[in-house]
A and B are shown apart, each in its own frame.
Chain A
């Protein structure tokens, strides 16, 4: 993984960045840094300010406050054409009146690259996205995936200092999306380019980003590696947004134990004694023969309310003392299928029992 090595200055730094539209704060006090060669994901629900943040970084929208620093230089006041950033737009924004080659060549012309070198670089960039044979086509003569690759090549051929991508895959169908996200990641790593990738798709962010910034309502909720975001979510919101989780109201006692209805659980997390929310990911709960005893494990017995076979997954709804737990198990040939009404014994780890202070929202 390429990350900012300790001690080296970050390549891109956002310092208390802020954007106001009238009275609404679309982005507030956003501070984060991106290391050289790092792929940072901006993840969050619709309207949380991802696009606004990216547009401010690219200079397409003025910031209302704060600073944007690239390689130690304050670029906050620079217009987009002097920021040296490649942007891939959600709708690709290719130039419809130019051929694919002319689209790529445009940025090089603006940089006064000599014609011969231009042609060579355009061809090389097209081959990098496997479109070498499409140079003479017009954008409208390409499929969505091909247009997407042209947009990527056009942003990369100028060898920008930073690559910005705003939901570049959202117009593609599911299969192509997965293929293209890996392609983007490959190219990004091969070129060692610093990139910010906006998405609202948590799987996409987890799959390709070095680190993920989870945003909510214009505020940075958590910044961490995909592992940290998924396994040690900083808030109930992050736990619910990244991956799926059972969510239950409980009470934490002074001892640290969590009382969930009749169940007494060991949980992880710093939440203070008082009302809390307990979150457990469905696939971290296992069916077993007996409630486990001892440190590190939680267990419960309950009744199967619903049992669904989904090929690779067995999905169960189990009633335990008033609460209903979603449980997911991988299937294998010969696995017994619990039926509704049958008793089920469950177990899961204390680390997988995430405890958060109870919040009104989310």
Chain B
């Protein structure tokens, strides 16, 4: 521990610089979004809220936002339905190859997303899944289930098996043990998993780029295309809203369960 003197000062400055480096670009979009200019310039020549008002006149972006929210909600529900039984099997089951299975399911996290996107494109084209809700949901599940599984397995790991054993010794069959004991005790993990899945899905752009079609697109992809042709501060305004939305979700999560506990730290 560095407690005092120049060492401490150095440490503080280092941390401050690190934060600035990490958060600088994010912080920058706040003033940019209030710029009065019609192209992104730094520093802005004046301030206004016109780009926020301009958002209202963008039906394409509004539709993409609606799509993204619906998609994230569906993906969140399905990812939990898939990941919960898998987490219980991996966290509580005793079978050969448990670790191998966990590694296999975590694989999409380790592969370059561009490779996944290409693979899905090849796979989906023949099935007519490109530009379809089914295709988007499947692609997002592939990316998000590993996250959900990680969080849920961690949540199960912090749950002592003896509590479940106590329940079964008191006369509870396996299903009662699960619904009366295991599931309620996993609630923080479930909420955390849901929030993370929602955010990852809402944010996903690389793989989604390959899957979307002309009639069905998501907000990040729509923004991506928007900045390809235009460079006005509208995207900054959207970015600000997305940052605030994400922060809001994290704040709710922290309030509800304590983020650190939910993702497996000590605390609590």
Contact = CB atoms under 8 A, between A and B. Distances in A.
B60 interface: no
A145 interface: no
Interface string B34-60: 000000000000000000000000000
Most buried by B among A79, A93, A155: A93
Given A95-B181, A96-B185, A97-B185, A87 B165 contact: yes
B124 to A, nearest CB: 43
A110 B170 contact: yes
B169 A110 contact: no
A110 B176 contact: yes
B93 interface: no
Nearest to A60: B165
B167 interface: yes
A60 to B, nearest CB: 5
B162 interface: yes
A158 B171 contact: yes
B168 A80 contact: yes
Contacts of A106: 167, 170, 172, 180
B160 A58 contact: no
A83 interface: yes
A35 interface: no
Decide if the interface of chain B is mainly helix, strand, loop or mixed. helix
Nearest to A111: B171
Interface string B169-186: 111110010001100110
Contact of A158 (B165, B170, B184): B170
Nearest to A83: B169
B114 interface: no
B163 interface: yes
A80 B165 contact: yes
B193 to A, nearest CB: 18
A110 B180 CA distance: 11
A282 interface: no
Interface string A184-208: 0000000000000000000000000
8 contacts: A60-B168, A80-B169, A84-B171, A86-B170, A91-B160, A93-B162, A94-B163, A154-B166
A-B complex: 7 closest residue pairs judged by Cβ atoms? A107-B170, A110-B171, A93-B162, A93-B166, A87-B169, A80-B168, A81-B168
